[in-house]
Structure 1
Amino acid sequence: MNWIKFGIVPLIMFVTLHSTALAVDTYSTVKLDGLTLPEWPVVVSPYGGKLVLSDSPEMVSNDGIMYQDTVSGDIRLFFHHVNATEVPKKIVVLLENYGKDTAHITVVQHGLGGPSLDYLQVGKEVQQEYLEGGNLYLIEVPCKESRSLISSLDHSIVEPNMLVNGMYDLKIDHPVIVRVMMMPLDADIAEFAAKAKVLPADPGEHRLRGTFEGKDRLIVGKHTYDGMKSGSVAVTLADNHLDQYVRGIDATDGTPTLNYGNYGIVYKIYLPSTSGDEISYYLNPRGGEYAGWLGLEYRHQDVHTIPTPADIMSFGSNKISESAYLGTYESGKSLWMTFSPPGASNLPIKLILEPEKVK
């Protein structure tokens, strides 16, 4: 991730709307500044299982364990690491079972990006793959044994300065140790894990690792939005003021930790509106360069994902008035959005609602 700058967290597919959405052919960027708009009041409710976050040290300069914890149940793993040595390495995720029974891990949803030198592209790839879903798969870890969560990484060469980023939703029926490690290319993974030491975390607000309760977040409007009365409004996400950062514990040493940017948290957003008009939606980055995807479900039928932005890889570095157009929809109908802060992108971000009169 990128870091805090000026008090703000630094952290293509061509899409055509289905017939249920209105009046657009492409999702392009437009000039729309969310900073000048009134904030639409919402209720923020954390829910779901645990988030296991491994992003510190982000720039990994030595072999070892970046993060580990013993977990079970409903788990999301988010890892984000760069090989900061001068030689090729591999970055792997190992599941270890020290219990008496075989552990069954169902990978429900996942996204993997890298290794690559283009950090924003890696983060965007993870979001796309995760939001578009795919076939789930099962991993069995017998008693006193270990298995890799992502077998492709076992043989993947991470060259110097390359990033690997992943987001994995897991259902685990018996406790396992999840270890995220960087190691020599020729080392045996299980043998390395048995001797590896935990690497020190990055200092201060850069300490982006830990285990957090509430891996999901529900955002619901406090009132029914009437565009003709309220005009253009914005909802701010991941700013630690209107939308608080999740707090947790670094399981490697027991210290409290804060997830600056809420990386790995998945937001479900529902803003009820009155019937009779249309509403255009935009995503406006406020912290700097941003590259991600967003999921939409309209009237429980039209389900699709949108690159943010669509016409370029990223936006928001110099022109903070740039906004990604998400589509125009009939007001009063069910519209759900799925959002998660992408790795390597900057937060906070604003969701803008712009009223449109029906012609």
Structure 2
Amino acid sequence: MKVFKTALISTFIIAQLCIALPAFADGSTTPGTTQGDNTQQKSQNPTQNSTNDGSAVTPETETENNQQPGGTVDPTNPTNPTNPTNPTSPTNPTGEVTPDPDVQSVKTNDQLVLMMNSNKMYRNGQEVLALQPLTVTKGISYIALRSIAEQAGFIVKYDAVTKETILKSGQQEVRFKTNSAAYTINGKSYKASGNAYQQKDVFMVPLTSITKALNIPYSVDNVAKKITLNLYSAPTANFTVSPAEIFAEQTSVTYKDQSSDPRGLEIVQHRWEGNENIFMEPGTHTITHWVMNANGVWSEPYSVTIEVKPKNLPPVAMFTTDKDSYKMGELITFTDESTDDEGQITKTEWLNKSIGFFEPGEKTITLRVTDRLGQVGEYQKTITITNETMYLHDDFFKLYTPVGEKFTLQKNNILDLAKAPFSSTDSQQTLLRSNSPESLSTEGIVFRDTIQGEARFLVHHKNISNQNLKVYVVVTNPGTMPTNVTVKDVGFAGPNEYESLTGKSSVERYFKSLNSGSLGQTTTLQPGETKVIFSELSAQAMKPGHVVSLMGDVSSDSEVTYQVAAVASNKDILKTLPSLTLLNRDNIHIRGTYENANRLIELNQVVGDKPSRISLADNNDDLYLNGIDNTNGMPSINMGNYGVMYTIRLNHVAPNTLIAFNPRGGIYKGIFVVNGQMTEAPSNGTLVNSNDASVVYRTGSAEETVTILFTPVSGSNLPVSMLFLPLAQQPQS
């Protein structure tokens, strides 16, 4: 009967150990990798395993309990210099120090076997004793922390301030605390399957927690009643190669080491093969890297194969001219014949190039080309300018400046030109202009109005605050029935620091949208609902000093309230909007609602038969729109007529006429649509001076009708003039 009871008790203990070990998806208890704390049972600190005062036992106390009967030193102590099973011992004749991975094999297995319901452990076949047996408490398997940690090469310390037991190996630090299921790995918190506790003054932790913390794979043998831990820990070699594109004899190659050790040990030695700083031969090259950790263990080799391209040749600069000798004011035709071995010339620079010269003598022109890798080729040619004259300066550039490019008139007599009479007719289009305050120093609402039907938005703002801002257009349905809001054509640019370029780009994209015939996007608003429209505007934050500009068409079935607001980029506009206050106008720029914002300018008499001009947005010949700022009920004048869409209809343009654009108020960078074709003003650079002009159109040998779409762009200055200049006749040879 006594034998039967003993067998029954043994069977119960084994069953408890099996229950305590984690189960896996396939029903087995033998994981292929390190396991986490899978047991979710609640565990309390057993009172029979605590010290009398309930305090944690310090490492010194555990060291005293580290003595075996007869006063011999516990073989689990890694500081024992005579321990033959310790792979990190400096006197260990079989340690993992591998000075040359080519001639000495690397050990890949270091096993510690734990016997269930016993304090016996076997390190590579040699018996060592744990401070306490592998124990099952509340269905959870517990192990003496120091016994397993020191076998794995960790230093164990106690922090009296935080009352934590600390395991340290290289850069890795693990912390456990008595009576707590929480533990940390390098400061990151985890939860164990049960509370750590003291058992006969020995610190006990869940087996699955310590193996996870120390990155120790293990397997379970229920038949042999043992758990096998693989203590072998090798570093992992890893590196990256840059740049991605490497050319023989030219590219300086950088290798960035990204090797690591699973237990935080220092990488103390590197071995490389094939890691040349500059590869002299094109083709396939393999670079291989090994690393060794502080325990003398080498990694497996890690290799990267790269393709080294043949040496990159610089581009060859070359151009020709149609002749070698020219009269003053004679057109010079340049043909760029530069080449590159990859066909990727990324930059072309001309020095002293002009399509015509007006002083006699030799002129040396230089062409410099750069490929995508920064290599440069250069070519020079010298031509001769004779004493003969074909065209005078202004006549020449009016005749030959390409459409969209600018030229400068030597004779600045534009205001002396006769004004061509025209008629002006306005048609209905509501304009909503949000530009004051233009510069935003804080969050707030910068525009608000309630309207119904078709409208055109013009939004232009700059961030001068000390934070990133986003500008939003939001629409609210104040009615009691659902309504539809449709966004039609839209052009947006920014955010960036260039005001005139941003304004010009937004109008250019608006014209492209008009030309594409966009069907628009319709949003349904329920009563009281608010939504964001023109999402392009608020997609990206404005950094301090940056500008955004938008021109877009919208319509609604019934009355809706539009608001333009600026908020910090990290805030939710719909949540923030109710708390925003209205910002005051800056008394320089414009805010308001304007009716009849489409204007037809029509010229019925012949233009171009003699020099003439018309002036636009000067509030004299072409009047500003009057409107109202409905945010405060104050009248508002749209100075500059920004946002007004002009249709300029020239019904009779004489043969051989230059139509040019001339700034009168300062810097201008704009866009036109001429007979359906988009034209920049100018395509390169900016119109700055009052005698600058950009070529808009030239008529041929017969009279023509020309229609021009134009709207003043935000960030540029008004007024402007449209010039109609007869072209010089071909001189007699």
Task: Report the TM-score when normalising by structure 1.
Answer: 0.85
Q: Which residue of 2 aligns with 1:321?
A: 691
Contact 1:24–1:327 (Cα < 8 Å) also in 2: no
> What does 1:55-74 correspond to in 2, within 5 Å?
55-74=435-454
Q: Which residue of 2 aligns with 1:265?
A: 644
Q: Tell me the SS of whatever aligns to 1:227.
A: coil
Letter in 1 for 2:556: I
1:210 aligned residue (592, 599, 603):
592
Q: Which residue of 1 aligns with 2:362?
A: none
Find out whether 1:341 has 2:724 as its counterpart.
Answer: no
Find out whether 1:227 has 2:600 as its counterpart.
Answer: no
**Structure 1 consecutive aligned stretches of length 4 or more whose deviation exceeds 3 Å:** 22-26, 152-155, 356-359
Q: Tell me the SS of whatever aligns to 1:95.
A: strand
Residue 282 (structure 1) shift: 0.2
Summarize the Cα distance change of 1:198–1:265 in structure 2 as closer, same or farther, 3 Å threshold.
same
Q: Distance in 2 between matches of 1:190 and 1:326?
A: 45
Q: Which residue of 1 aligns with 2:669?
A: 291
Q: Distance in 2 between matches of 1:104 and 1:334?
A: 40
Residue 103 (structure 1) shift: 2.5
Mean alpha-carbon deviation: is it higher for 22-31 or for 102-111? 22-31
Q: Distance in 1 between matches of 2:538 and 2:551?
A: 17
> What does 1:1-359 correspond to in 2, within 5 Å?
25-32=402-409, 33=412, 34-133=414-513, 134=516, 135-143=518-526, 144-203=528-587, 206-221=588-603, 223-228=604-609, 231-273=610-652, 277-297=655-675, 303-312=676-685, 314-316=686-688, 319-330=689-700, 332-356=703-727
Summarize the Cα distance change of 1:85–1:30 in structure 2 as closer, same or farther, 3 Å threshold.
same
Letter in 2 for 1:292: G
Task: Report the TM-score when normalising by structure 2.
Answer: 0.43
Q: Which residue of 1 aligns with 2:327?
A: none
Residue 195 (structure 1) shift: 2.0
Q: Distance in 1 between matches of 2:536 and 2:715?
A: 22
Residue 207 (structure 1) shift: 4.4
Q: Tell me the SS of whatever aligns to 2:651.
A: coil
Q: Which residue of 1 aligns with 2:132?
A: none
Letter in 1 for 2:721: K
Q: Distance in 1 between matches of 2:442 and 2:505?
A: 26
Q: Distance in 2 between matches of 1:41 and 1:26?
A: 25
Q: Tell me the SS of whatever aligns to 2:606.
A: coil
Structure number with greater Rg is 2
Contact 1:288–1:320 (Cα < 8 Å) also in 2: yes
Contact 2:489–2:520 (Cα < 8 Å) also in 1: no
Summarize the Cα distance change of 1:25–1:350 in structure 2 as closer, same or farther, 3 Å threshold.
closer
Contact 2:643–2:712 (Cα < 8 Å) also in 1: yes
Deviations 1:200-233 (A, max 9, x none): 1112xx1400001111111011x411533xx110
Q: Distance in 1 between matches of 2:659 and 2:496?
A: 32
Q: Which residue of 2 aligns with 1:15?
A: none
Q: Which residue of 2 aligns with 1:11?
A: none
Q: Distance in 2 between matches of 1:273 and 1:358?
A: 20
Q: Tell me the SS of whatever aligns to 2:699.
A: strand
Contact 1:106–1:136 (Cα < 8 Å) also in 2: no
Aligned pair count reads 324
Summarize the Cα distance change of 1:98–1:351 in structure 2 as closer, same or farther, 3 Å threshold.
same
Residue 249 (structure 1) shift: 0.4
Q: Distance in 1 between matches of 2:611 and 2:519?
A: 40
Letter in 1 for 2:524: V
Residue 153 (structure 1) shift: 3.5
Contact 1:48–1:74 (Cα < 8 Å) also in 2: no
Mean alpha-carbon deviation: is it higher for 194-203 or for 338-347? 194-203
Q: Mind listing any 5+ residue stretches in structure 1 that lack a counterpart?
A: 1-21, 298-302
Q: Distance in 1 between matches of 2:729 and 2:557?
A: 52
Q: Report sequence identity in percent.
A: 28
Residue 355 (structure 1) shift: 2.3
Contact 2:401–2:695 (Cα < 8 Å) also in 1: no
Deviations 1:147-195 (A, max 9, x none): 2112233441111111111011122222111111100122221122222
Contact 1:23–1:328 (Cα < 8 Å) also in 2: no
Contact 1:73–1:173 (Cα < 8 Å) also in 2: yes
Q: Distance in 2 between matches of 1:232 and 1:104?
A: 51
Q: Distance in 1 between matches of 2:674 and 2:481?
A: 40
Q: CA RMSD in A?
A: 1.9
Q: Distance in 2 between matches of 1:97 and 1:256?
A: 25
Deviations 1:19-51 (A, max 9, x none): xxx987543212344322111111111112210
Summarize the Cα distance change of 1:72–1:358 in structure 2 as closer, same or farther, 3 Å threshold.
farther
Mean alpha-carbon deviation: is it higher for 180-189 or for 336-345? 180-189
Contact 2:487–2:534 (Cα < 8 Å) also in 1: no
Greater relative contact order (Cα 8 A, min sep 6): structure 1 or 2? 1
Q: Which residue of 2 aligns with 1:5?
A: none
Contact 1:49–1:73 (Cα < 8 Å) also in 2: no
Mean alpha-carbon deviation: is it higher for 245-254 or for 94-103? 94-103
